[in-house]
């Protein structure tokens, strides 16, 4: 006779329990008439509709701190990977909720009522199976494991299992969209501290030695506060670089308002005549569900840069998503923010929250941009997702990245000979005003789940870039005169996943361009094909638990432009050769401790 198995994992904060209940169907009735949470879930599963072949179900039970059913609690179920409109449900009078006809894949579930919110949990829905979840408000008691579809013998008890997860978060960058929307397993941690060293891929990207920190979900009444930042120093030139970012959002999952404030101060070494450069960025975002299939995200940014004077920008943005089928979504977005924004599931994020600055007659000037896009994304199968988009970009006072030398140090005389360059001596790099350009383009992408937590991605994009307007070297006194808009084509290949034995998390990508370009092609791409140009490697290796670290210690390596491609040589007025480059070859690594 076929036996029925149903496995549920219980995790209470950082303490996990492993229980075994053999012969549950034959156990005696409890002395008290009140059923346990497991019995309620088991009874609800037995009475649930059959699981449709090829689809999955999600069944949950929500109770309060005393174990009493929570009626009318808000449940949000959101698919990972594809940015679709979330599914919402409310618990019944018995505290139960169910979501049927789910496409197999990874989902994130949040439950809240009033000011009590259970942390978001990740669950994988398998084909023809049912997942059971148990939430406790305000403290979280979560169970997530798969059971077989109804129709088999119920003579087997619940098998209680322990689940583990590994953090894959944005350590070397503030907000990595690949990490935010990744289908990789992510553990609910309170924060991390990372000690990193090395070079950045662009001017002012990172200090030579830096301490990165993040503290998530600090409860402030009905609000939650997250803090992150970088405190760095550049050895040899004694320059300090400090960044701090604070994000405030509601603890109510139905309230999508979010406010982020970022500040940064850096000293421009070797330019004693220039005061410290101070940058400020404020980002407000919100979202509205106009219908079960129509969602609108909107917001605006206020940026300011202060050096010899103060310049400000106001950049609104909007994103409209229409779910045209259970597997497909069409969206329109209009953005005027720089650096490029990346839309996540509930908010808008930036790889670097600081505005891009260049010099004009010794005065700081902010880069401006506009971006419009229409995108279509569809899950063809549980393993394959496609995306296609048409977009238009317009940039003003483009901040172009460059290097004074491929190796060695740069002299003060070289800096003084190029007054229109904003230097970063720690990395021998600079920012320059590349002028204005605009154009349109399109992209296609395919993501395939290989199994075992690995995925492969291939993408194609074409659009306008700033490229050298002559094959001969030209003087760099006016970068805008040496660059011109040109159409470029790019092919992207990416593989990402986690090794099963060592738990090594790896993302390898290569983006090939058909021509030299001083600016990135399609910088607003936040789909699964997004990534820097040329060869890049991101690696995170969890280290064995020792010295009381509890397995939360990990080594990090981040390599940009491994093959040193895309450097554009130009002549400076003093006859020295300088280089314009999208992403400089760089190696950065360190250690991170999660807590």
What is the tens place of the pLDDT at every residue in 292-323? Answer: 889 898 988 888 877 667 778 888 999 999 98
**Is 393:463 a contact under the CB 8 Å cutoff?**
yes
Going by pLDDT thresholds of 50, 70 and 90, the confidence category of residue 419 is low
- Average pLDDT, integer, range 518-526: 90
**Cβ atoms within 10 A of the Cβ of 472, count?**
7
Check if the beta carbon of residue 554 is closer than 8 Å to that of residue 539: no
- pLDDT for 10: 36
Q: State the pLDDT at residue 269.
A: 56
Mean pLDDT of the region 409-416: 60
> Between 1.20.120, 2.30.30, 1.10.3470, 2.40.160, what CATH number should domain 177-594 receive?
2.40.160
pLDDT > 70 in the chain, percent: 66
- When pLDDT is cut at 50, 70 and 90, the band that residue 592 belongs to is confident
Cβ contact 36:44 at 8 Å = no
HSE of 577 in the Cβ direction (CA atoms, 13 Å)? 8
Instruction: Give CA–CA dist 564/404, Å, rounded.
Output: 15
What does the pLDDT read at residue 234? 58
Extract the tokens encoding 55.
């689809």
The closest of 107, 42, 27 to 345, measured between CA atoms, is 107
pLDDT digits (tens, 9 = 90+) for 121-160: 778 888 778 888 877 765 433 333 333 334 433 333 222 2
- pLDDT-derived band at 109, boundaries 50, 70, 90: confident
Helix (H) or strand (E) holding 412: helix 412-416
6-161 has which CATH code? 2.60.40.1120
221: burial class by Cβ within 10 Å (0-12, 13-18, 19+)? exposed
| Region label for 205, one of left (φ > 0), alpha (ψ between -120 and 50) or beta (otherwise) | alpha
> In the predicted model, is pLDDT for residue 537 greater than 70?
yes
Provide the β-strand partners of residue 213.
193, 229
Q: What is the pLDDT of residues 160-180, one digit of tens each?
A: 222 222 222 233 333 333 333
- Report which secondary-structure segment, H or E, holds 303: strand 294-306
Residue 319 near residue 290, CB atoms below 8 Å: no
The pLDDT assigned to 371 comes to: 93
Cβ pair 154, 181 in contact under 8 A: no
3-class secondary-structure state, position 111: strand
Domain spans, the chain: 6-161, 177-594
Q: What is the pTM of this model?
A: 0.65
**Which is more confidently placed, 183 or 452?**
452
Cα distance between residue 179 and residue 53, in whole Å = 32
- Summarised one tens digit per residue, pLDDT across range 209-252 is 777 777 776 666 667 788 887 776 655 445 567 788 888 887 66
> For residue 313, what pLDDT is reported?
81
Q: Tokens for 385, please give them.
A: 């997702």
Whether the predicted pLDDT of 259 surpasses 90: no
* Structure tokens that stand for 535 in this block: 């060869």
**Predicted pLDDT of residue 544:** 76
Helix (H) or strand (E) holding 324: strand 310-325
């Amino acid at each position: 006779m076929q036996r029925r198995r149903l496995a549920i994992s219980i995790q209470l904060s950082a303490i996990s329990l492993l229980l075994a209940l053999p012969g549950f169907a034959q156990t005696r009735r409890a002395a008290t008439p009140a059923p346990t949470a497991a019995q309620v879930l088991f009874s609800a599963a037995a009475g649930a509709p059959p699981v449709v072949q090829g689809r999955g179900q999600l069944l949950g039970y929500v109770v309060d701190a005393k174990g009493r059913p929570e009626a009318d609690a808000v449940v949000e179920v959101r698919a990972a990977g594809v940015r679709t409109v979330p599914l919402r449900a409310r618990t019944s009078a018995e505290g139960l909720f169910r979501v049927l006809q789910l496409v197999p894949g990874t989902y994130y579930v949040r439950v809240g009522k009033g000011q009590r919110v259970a942390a978001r949990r990740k669950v994988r829905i398998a084909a023809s199976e049912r997942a059971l979840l148990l939430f406790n408000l305000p403290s979280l008691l979560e169970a997530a494991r798969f059971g077989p579809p109804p129709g088999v013998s119920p003579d087997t008890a619940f098998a209680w299992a322990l689940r583990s997860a590994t953090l894959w978060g944005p350590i070397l960058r503030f907000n990595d969209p690949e990490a935010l929307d990744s289908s990789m397993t992510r553990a609910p941690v309170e924060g991390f501290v990372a000690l990193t060293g090395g070079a950045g891929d662009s001017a002012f990207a990172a200090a030579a030695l830096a301490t990165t920190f993040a503290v998530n979900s600090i409860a402030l009444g009905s609000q939650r506060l997250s803090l992150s930042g970088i405190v760095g120093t550049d050895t040899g030139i004694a320059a300090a670089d400090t960044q701090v970012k604070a994000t405030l959002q509601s603890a109510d999952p139905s309230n999508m308002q979010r406010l982020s404030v970022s500040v940064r101060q850096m000293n421009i070494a070797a330019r004693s005549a220039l005061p410290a450069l101070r940058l400020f960025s404020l980002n407000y975002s919100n979202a509205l569900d106009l219908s079960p299939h129509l969602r609108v995200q909107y917001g605006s940014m206020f940026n300011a840069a202060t050096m010899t004077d103060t310049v400000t920008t106001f950049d609104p943005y909007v994103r409209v998503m229409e779910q045209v089928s259970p597997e497909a979504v069409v969206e329109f977005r209009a953005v005027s923010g720089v650096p490029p924004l990346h839309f996540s599931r509930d908010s808008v994020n930036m790889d670097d929250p600081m505005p891009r600055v260049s010099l004009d007659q010794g005065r700081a000037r902010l880069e401006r941009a506009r971006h419009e896009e229409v995108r279509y994304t569809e899950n063809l199968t549980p393993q394959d997702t496609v995306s296609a988009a048409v977009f238009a970009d317009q940039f003003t006072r483009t901040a172009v990245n460059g290097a004074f030398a491929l190796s060695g140090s740069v002299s003060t005389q070289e800096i003084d000979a190029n007054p229109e360059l904003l230097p970063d001596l720690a990395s021998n790099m600079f920012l320059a005003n590349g002028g204005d350009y605009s154009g349109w383009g399109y992209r296609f992408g395919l993501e395939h789940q290989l199994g075992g937590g690995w995925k492969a991605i291939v993408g194609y994009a074409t659009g306008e870039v700033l490229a050298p307007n002559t094959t001969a070297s030209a003087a760099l006194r006016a970068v805008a005169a040496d660059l011109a808009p040109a159409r470029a084509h790019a092919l992207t290949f990416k593989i990402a996943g986690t090794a099963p034995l060592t738990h090594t998390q790896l993302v390898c990508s290569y983006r090939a361009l058909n021509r030299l370009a001083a600016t990135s092609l399609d910088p607003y791409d936040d789909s699964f094909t997004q990534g820097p140009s040329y060869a890049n490697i991101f690696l995170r290796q969890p280290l064995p638990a020792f010295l009381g670290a509890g397995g939360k210690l990990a080594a990090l390596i981040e390599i940009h432009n491994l093959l040193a491609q895309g450097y554009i040589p130009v002549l400076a007025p003093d006859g020295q050769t300088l280089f314009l480059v999208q992403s400089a070859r760089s190696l950065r690594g360190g250690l991170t401790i999660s807590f």
